[in-house]
Amino acid sequence: MSVQQEAGVGGEALEVWIDQDLCTGDGICAQYAPEVFELDIDGLAYVKSPQDALLQDEGATAPVPLPLLTDVVDSAKECPGECIHVRRVSDGVEVYGPDAG
Protein backbone atom coordinates (compact mmCIF):
# COMPACT_ATOMS: atom_id res chain seq x y z
CA MET A 1 0.00 0.00 0.00
CA SER A 2 1.36 3.42 -0.92
CA VAL A 3 1.66 6.30 1.51
CA GLN A 4 -1.18 8.09 -0.28
CA GLN A 5 -3.46 5.04 -0.12
CA GLU A 6 -2.61 4.59 3.55
CA ALA A 7 -3.70 8.17 4.28
CA GLY A 8 -6.73 7.94 2.04
CA VAL A 9 -5.69 11.08 0.19
CA GLY A 10 -5.85 9.81 -3.40
CA GLY A 11 -4.52 12.57 -5.61
CA GLU A 12 -5.40 15.37 -3.21
CA ALA A 13 -2.97 18.19 -2.59
CA LEU A 14 -1.17 18.09 0.74
CA GLU A 15 0.67 20.75 2.70
CA VAL A 16 3.11 20.56 5.59
CA TRP A 17 3.94 22.87 8.47
CA ILE A 18 6.19 22.72 11.52
CA ASP A 19 5.32 23.79 15.06
CA GLN A 20 8.58 25.50 16.02
CA ASP A 21 7.53 25.52 19.71
CA LEU A 22 7.96 21.73 19.67
CA CYS A 23 10.93 21.50 17.28
CA THR A 24 14.00 19.93 18.89
CA GLY A 25 16.33 20.93 16.06
CA ASP A 26 17.48 17.37 15.39
CA GLY A 27 17.37 17.97 11.64
CA ILE A 28 15.93 14.59 10.75
CA CYS A 29 13.37 16.28 8.53
CA ALA A 30 16.05 18.13 6.57
CA GLN A 31 17.92 14.84 6.11
CA TYR A 32 14.82 13.06 4.75
CA ALA A 33 13.49 15.89 2.57
CA PRO A 34 15.96 18.79 2.15
CA GLU A 35 13.80 20.14 -0.69
CA VAL A 36 10.99 20.79 1.83
CA PHE A 37 12.72 21.34 5.21
CA GLU A 38 15.71 23.36 6.37
CA LEU A 39 17.32 24.22 9.69
CA ASP A 40 17.76 27.93 10.23
CA ILE A 41 20.45 29.75 12.17
CA ASP A 42 18.21 29.56 15.27
CA GLY A 43 18.60 25.76 15.19
CA LEU A 44 14.94 25.11 14.38
CA ALA A 45 13.45 23.50 11.29
CA TYR A 46 11.23 25.37 8.86
CA VAL A 47 9.41 24.50 5.65
CA LYS A 48 10.54 25.94 2.34
CA SER A 49 8.51 27.38 -0.51
CA PRO A 50 8.62 25.75 -3.95
CA GLN A 51 11.07 28.56 -4.84
CA ASP A 52 13.40 27.35 -2.02
CA ALA A 53 12.69 30.31 0.31
CA LEU A 54 12.65 29.60 4.04
CA LEU A 55 9.14 30.26 5.43
CA GLN A 56 9.58 31.56 8.97
CA ASP A 57 6.13 32.96 9.69
CA GLU A 58 4.33 31.06 12.44
CA GLY A 59 2.15 28.34 10.92
CA ALA A 60 3.63 28.81 7.44
CA THR A 61 2.78 25.92 5.14
CA ALA A 62 4.47 24.47 2.08
CA PRO A 63 3.01 22.17 -0.56
CA VAL A 64 4.11 18.54 -0.44
CA PRO A 65 5.35 17.56 -3.90
CA LEU A 66 4.01 14.10 -4.75
CA PRO A 67 7.49 12.67 -5.52
CA LEU A 68 8.58 13.70 -2.00
CA LEU A 69 5.48 12.53 -0.13
CA THR A 70 7.11 9.43 1.35
CA ASP A 71 10.14 11.44 2.51
CA VAL A 72 7.91 14.09 4.13
CA VAL A 73 5.78 11.41 5.83
CA ASP A 74 8.90 9.62 7.08
CA SER A 75 10.10 12.96 8.48
CA ALA A 76 6.83 13.37 10.39
CA LYS A 77 6.97 9.81 11.70
CA GLU A 78 10.61 10.01 12.82
CA CYS A 79 10.56 13.54 14.26
CA PRO A 80 11.48 13.35 17.98
CA GLY A 81 9.65 16.63 18.65
CA GLU A 82 6.45 15.42 16.95
CA CYS A 83 6.14 18.85 15.39
CA ILE A 84 5.63 18.08 11.69
CA HIS A 85 2.03 18.24 10.47
CA VAL A 86 0.88 17.05 7.03
CA ARG A 87 -2.68 17.90 6.08
CA ARG A 88 -5.02 17.94 3.11
CA VAL A 89 -5.32 21.35 1.52
CA SER A 90 -9.01 20.82 0.68
CA ASP A 91 -10.30 20.47 4.24
CA GLY A 92 -7.30 21.00 6.55
CA VAL A 93 -7.52 17.48 8.00
CA GLU A 94 -4.17 16.24 9.28
CA VAL A 95 -3.24 12.93 7.65
CA TYR A 96 0.25 12.55 9.18
CA GLY A 97 1.70 13.99 12.33
CA PRO A 98 0.75 14.20 15.99
CA ASP A 99 -2.85 15.29 15.33
CA ALA A 100 -3.61 12.69 12.63
CA GLY A 101 -6.68 10.58 13.30
pLDDT digits (tens, 9 = 90+) for 25-36: 999 999 999 999
Q: What domain count does the chain have? A: 1
Angle at 71 between CA 68 and CA 75, to 5 degrees: 135
Residue 74 · residue 87 · CB < 8 Å: no
3-state secondary structure of 94: strand
Answer whether residue 56 is part of any domain. Answer: yes
Answer whether residue 101 is part of any domain. Answer: no
Q: What is the residue range of 86's domain?
A: 3-96
CATH number at residue 52: 3.30.70.20
Q: What is the pLDDT of residues 34-72, one digit of tens each?
A: 999 999 999 999 999 999 999 999 999 999 999 999 999
Answer whether residue 37 is part of any domain. Answer: yes
